[in-house]
Amino acid sequence: MLARATPDPRKKDQVNLNDEESRIMPSSDKWFEQAYNAQAAVDVDTMLMTWNGVR
């Protein structure tokens, strides 16, 4: 069963030791999920991607 999102970590919260770049993030429906924070910048005139990164 999934846990509701809270602002602070609890005693039984876990850390993913397999993938250091992913994070446990709150989702839009107030639950948590293992996810990546991907970001991109696009040039408005040419619609070409000018930068990307995963945090």
Query: What's residue 36's pLDDT?
Result: 84
In a domain, residue 1? The reply is: no
In a domain, residue 10? The reply is: no
Domains: count for the chain: 1
Query: What's residue 46's pLDDT?
Result: 92
0.85 cut: is pTM over it?
Answer: no
Which residues constitute the domain of residue 48? 23-54
Q: Is pLDDT of 45 > 90?
A: yes
55 compared with 35, residue with greater pLDDT: 35
Query: What's residue 31's pLDDT?
Result: 86
In a domain, residue 34? The reply is: yes
50 compared with 21, residue with greater pLDDT: 50
Which residues lie closer than 8 Å to 33 by C-beta, 6 or more apart?
24, 25, 27
In a domain, residue 43? The reply is: yes
Query: What's residue 2's pLDDT?
Result: 65
In a domain, residue 37? The reply is: yes
In a domain, residue 17? The reply is: no
Tokens of 33: 């999920």
What amino acid occupies position 42?
Answer: V
In a domain, residue 33? The reply is: yes
In a domain, residue 30? The reply is: yes
